[in-house]
Each structure stands twice: as structure tokens, then as C-alpha cells.
Amino acid sequence: MPAAVRAARRIVVPRRHAFDEPLLLQSGARLVDYELAYETYGTLNADRSNAVLVCHALNASHHVAGLHILDDGTEDAGWWDNMVGPGKPVDTDRFFVLGVNNPGSCFGSTGPSTIDPATGRPYGASFPVVTVEDWVDAQARLADVLGIERFAAVMGGSLGGMQALAWSTRYPERVAHCVSIASTAKLSAQNIAFNDVARQAILTDPDFRGGDFQAVGVVPRNGLRVARMIGHITYLSDDDMAEKFGRTLKADDLAFGYGAEFEIESYLRYQGDKFSAYFDANSYLLITKALDYFDPAAAFDGSLTRALAAATASFLIVSFTTDWRFAPERSREVVKALLDNRHPVTYAEIDAPHGHDAFLLDDARYHRLVAAYFDRIHVAIVAARAAA
């Protein structure tokens, strides 16, 4: 497809960068000879001041916006295409947006399903545990390669919002704005509990084979399926589920068996089946573990205020009223810690029915808010350029 046609249709070609120097991980392990897959949207301006990094959550990737071509030749839209693009809240006519697949994931960057050059076989269980901070370090190295010294904004939702928060203190001089949506500064015991049950479903699936299933040509699909179903329940609000599915049956009468009988069963099983067909089980384990471990306050005797002291960015924190995975209360803890530090912060609690998933949906008030925030960033960039 000619480049002009690709551009007109917003078809994005992912790129990869191979890193020679090992990445030292928080665990003490080293990631050697790794690659990062990424996509960019829009144009980096002359003074490189309009770059926005979008960090992805559990099952997403560097395919943030536009269309990308799947292995089977079909096209698929980026996971945040309603947020990022020409004329959208994060307007790629003004901003240069970068999406990076995190190492340990399974969409192109080095992860457990990648062939380990040292053995010629997939890393599998030998792939090291990575943390939110490790991802941020990897993203910073890619920014170096792309010549981006300082991001106009680092943003993300859920686990992506944790990465944005981590950027604000790990590389304070490199982040002008930190946008953390439907996120939290640490998982609760209940959050960890849900993650651990999901992991146990995978770890005890006989086809998991201690993590080296790929080498023997099997996939722990049953475990992954159950893991995803559990996760999915926590992404939706109770009310939204009641509204969408209620107690509606697929047939007129009760079946007195274990088929998918209620609509909600059918929906969840479908989500589980779909997920287990494309997601890597080891990646699921790694990424949920990164979620569990994230706790910037831990190094400061539990004080989130002290943990966020080093930040110099301005913050936009957004939560959704019916999100019970990372409830507004958790965002308010972050806002409180930012205010304690007198950091500039805008906080919005969006009244939305869709639970945690709301951060991915096209809600007018939510999108207007983000658009207004990014307009302000753009005006500041233009003003800085005029003053220079």
C-alpha cells in the first residue's frame, strides 16, 4: 500500500527497536538483547516538545490509535482510537503520540513467547518478572532513541496510569504533564486476591507445564479463560451488568444443565474464549504481578506524599464513579498526596455507569475534559515556542 494511501486511511506500521545494552530490572535480573515494538502518530515538532507517551494496561499494546494490519491481513483499530487521533482529545494534528508495547507482554516486544537467542527456544518460564518501574525505564530508553528528551505528557489508564505516575517521580525532568486515569497508587488486598485467583487458574492448568507450554506445543487455554472471566467481572460495574444482562435467559425455559443459560454467562465465556486464543499465559502472570507490586509509597514508609515529592509535572487525575476495581477513593488518595506537595493537579470524578472499563469508552464529558486539558498543554507549547 503506498504511503499516501496508508496515511489517508490512518493505517499505522508498527516499528521495532533492538537494544544492545541489557536492561537492569528491579528484581536484579537483566533483560539482554531485547526489542521494543512501538507505533507513533502525528509529527514530532522541531523542538521536540509535543511528544505524548501513552502507556498501556494489562491486555493492550503499542497499537494505540489508527488501524493496524493483523497477521491474517484484516485491519484492527487501536485500543484508544477514540481518544488519540486527528481532532480527538489527544489531537495528533498537534501532538506526536508514542505507544510502546511493554517488555513481558505478547504483542511484539520481547516477552515470554519470544525466542531466547541463548537457547533457541521461547523464554517461557525463564522470562524475568518485570515491574512498572522496569517498563518506565524501557520506555525512557526508547524515548532516548527517538530523541525525545521531555514528554509534553505521559498518560495512561488503569495499569497505564500507574506507569504515568511512576514516570513523574522516576524521570521528573522528562514529564511536563502526568495524566493518570482510573488508576491507583497501589492495589488493595482485594485487587491482589482477584489477581492471585486468576494466576492460580493458569498455574494449575495441566497445560501450563510450569510455563514452558509453548515448547511442547500446548496452551493453558482453560486457565487463561477463567482468569479473563474473573478479570472481566471486575472491569464492569454491578449496575452496568444488571442493565445490560440482568437475569435474562438465552432460551425461554430453564435448561437444568451447565450450558451458557443466562446472557451474562454467554457473554463472559465468549470474552474468556476470545482472550485465551490470543494472550500469552506467561505474560498474564507477569503483568498481574507488576500490578500487585506497584506501590511507590512502600519505599517511603508508606507515605505516598513523600513518594510523590520528587515530581515536577502537572497532573490530571480522573476516576469514574462506578469503578469498583480502582474506585474514586483511590484516585483521591493520589490527589491528596499531590496537594500535600503543592503539585498542580486537576481532578475529575466522572459520573459514568460503566465501571473500570469507562476509561476506554467514548464518554462525552470525559473526552471533553481530556481535550480541554491537552488544549491547554498545546497552548503552553506554542507560547513557549513563540517566546524562544
Catalytic residue (one of 323, 331, 354, 363): 323
Does the annotation mark 180 as catalytic? no
Q: Using the rule CB under 8 A, is 289 a contact of its own copies? A: yes
How many residues belong to the site for its own copies (CB under 8 A)?
51
Q: Using the rule CB under 8 A, is 256 a contact of its own copies? A: yes
**Which listed range, 7-15, 45-53, 90-98, 284-292, lies at the site for its own copies (CB under 8 A)?**
284-292
Task: Specify whether the CB–CB gap between 326 and 140 falls below 8 A.
Answer: no
Task: Please give the biggest Cα pair distance in the chain.
Answer: 74
Phi, psi dihedrals of residue 38, rounded to the nearest 5°: -150, 165
* Cβ nearer to its own copies, comparing 151 with 194: 194
**Which listed range, 57-65, 141-149, 236-244, 342-350, lies at the site for its own copies (CB under 8 A)?**
236-244
* Cβ nearer to its own copies, comparing 86 with 246: 246
* Cβ nearer to its own copies, comparing 92 with 113: 113
Alpha helices (H) along the chain: 3-8, 132-146, 159-170, 189-203, 221-235, 238-244, 263-278, 281-293, 304-307, 328-340, 364-387
379 burial level (CB within 10 Å; 0-12, 13-18, 19+): exposed
Task: Specify whether the CB–CB gap between 308 and 337 falls below 8 A.
Answer: yes
Q: Using the rule CB under 8 A, is 119 a contact of its own copies? A: no
Chain-centre distance of CA 213, in angstroms? 26
Does the annotation mark 314 as catalytic? no
**Which among 347, 381, 339, 362 is positioned nearest to 52, based on CA atoms?**
381
Q: Using the rule CB under 8 A, is 230 a contact of its own copies? A: yes
Q: Using the rule CB under 8 A, is 275 a contact of its own copies? A: no
Q: Using the rule CB under 8 A, is 43 a contact of its own copies? A: no
Rounded (5°) CA angle 232-165-359 = 35
Q: Using the rule CB under 8 A, is 272 a contact of its own copies? A: yes
Task: Specify whether the CB–CB gap between 16 and 74 falls below 8 A.
Answer: no
Q: Which residue has the cell 476495581?
A: 325
Q: Which of 17, 48, 209, 244 binds its own copies (CB under 8 A)?
A: 244
Does the annotation mark 93 as catalytic? no
Active site residues: 158, 323, 356
Query: Interface residues with its own copies (CB under 8 A)?
Result: 27, 29, 128-129, 186-190, 192-194, 196-197, 199-201, 203-206, 222, 225-226, 229-230, 233, 236, 238, 241-242, 244-247, 254, 256-258, 262, 264-265, 268-269, 272, 285, 289, 292-293, 295, 298
